[in-house]
């Protein structure tokens, strides 16, 4: 949603300390972007409290926390790769609606991989925050996480999946920084977020492997099975062909 490149380096903002970057930019959608990020943090906070209450109501659900957390983080990694594949492969940067918002950032990123290292938190993450609202809002409204059992675990999955989606742009940004923050290096070394070396494989032309950019855990599996190659062939059989 940045409509003009008017950066003024302004580092040491609180969130930028965590994610890196820090160039302020102009946007006529700033209020909407702030609203999306605020709604994301409000909903994840509220759901977190509900999930804790649900866990206290049914302590036996606690044994599923680790598997649910693992599944949610893997799902977020898959979605990061799937959306990245679609954006790199289909439509063009001038496609109405999707082009400027979804396609252009990914393709521009191949031309200027360092651009995302300069973004402020809100610019890098407002789209992901907006997208997760489609899962967070209905779950928060219709699933009663405080009841314990399955509703609590489902809410926990949606909550952690949404946080995983938020981590996508953050982890991707870290993978491009020359000197990521110390906590990022710790997570990269532990393999919890994708490392600079592993992500560099995607940036080697023709950019058709290693699409996952959160943890990157699924890249060996998806590339080894040529998942996206088969998906592209299947889509071409139903008339959906590679874009420009």
CB-nearer residue toward Zn ion: 50 or 88: 88
Cα separation, 138 vs 155, in Å, equals: 10
Shortest Cβ 166–Zn ion spacing (Å)? 17
Is 88 a binding residue for Zn ion by CB under 5 A? The answer is: yes
Site string for Zn ion, 173-212 (x = CB under 5 A): ----------------------------------x-----
Nearest distance, CB of residue 84 and Zn ion, angstroms: 6
Residues 21-60 contacting Zn ion, CB under 5 A:
none
Distance of CA 136 to the CA centre of its chain: 14
Give the side-chain half-sphere CA count within 13 A for 82: 8
If the CB atoms of residues 81 and 148 are measured against Zn ion, the closer one turns out to be: 81
Separation of alpha carbons 164 and 73, rounded Å: 6
| Count of other CB atoms within 10 angstroms of residue 115 | 17
77 touches Zn ion by CB under 5 A: no
Separation in Å, CA 55 to CA 29, 157, 164: 39, 13, 21
CB of 144 to Zn ion, least distance (A): 40
Give the nearer residue to Zn ion in terms of CB position, either 77 or 88: 88
For the bound state, the minimum distance from the C-beta of residue 183 to Zn ion, rounded and expressed in Å, comes to 20
d(CA 7, CA 160): 33
In angstroms, the CA 219 to CA 213 distance is 9
Q: Which residues bind Zn ion (CB under 5 A)?
A: 88, 207
């Amino acid at each position: 949603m940045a409509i003009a490149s008017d950066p003024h380096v302004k580092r040491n903002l609180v969130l930028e300390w965590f994610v890196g970057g820090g160039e302020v930019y102009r946007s006529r959608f700033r209020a909407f972007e702030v609203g999306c990020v605020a709604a994301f943090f409000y909903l994840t906070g509220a759901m977190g409290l509900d999930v804790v209450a649900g866990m206290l109501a049914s302590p036996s659900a606690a044994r599923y926390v680790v598997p649910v957390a693992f599944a949610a983080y893997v799902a977020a990694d898959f979605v990061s790769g799937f959306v990245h594949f679609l954006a790199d492969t289909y439509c063009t940067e001038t496609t109405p609606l999707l082009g400027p918002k979804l396609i252009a950032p990914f393709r521009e990123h191949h031309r200027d991989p360092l651009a995302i290292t300069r973004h402020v938190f809100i610019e890098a993450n407002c789209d992901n925050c907006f997208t997760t609202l489609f899962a967070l809002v209905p779950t928060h409204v219709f699933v009663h996480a405080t009841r314990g059992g399955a509703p609590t675990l489902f809410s926990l999955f949606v909550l952690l999946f949404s946080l995983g989606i938020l981590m996508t742009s953050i982890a991707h940004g870290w993978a491009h920084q020359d000197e990521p923050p110390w906590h990022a290096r710790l997570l990269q070394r532990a393999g919890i977020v994708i490392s600079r070396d592993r992500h560099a494989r995607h940036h080697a032309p023709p950019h058709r492997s290693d699409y996952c950019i959160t943890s990157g855990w699924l890249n060996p599996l998806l590339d080894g099975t040529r998942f996206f190659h088969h998906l592209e062939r299947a889509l071409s059989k139903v008339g959906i062909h590679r874009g420009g």
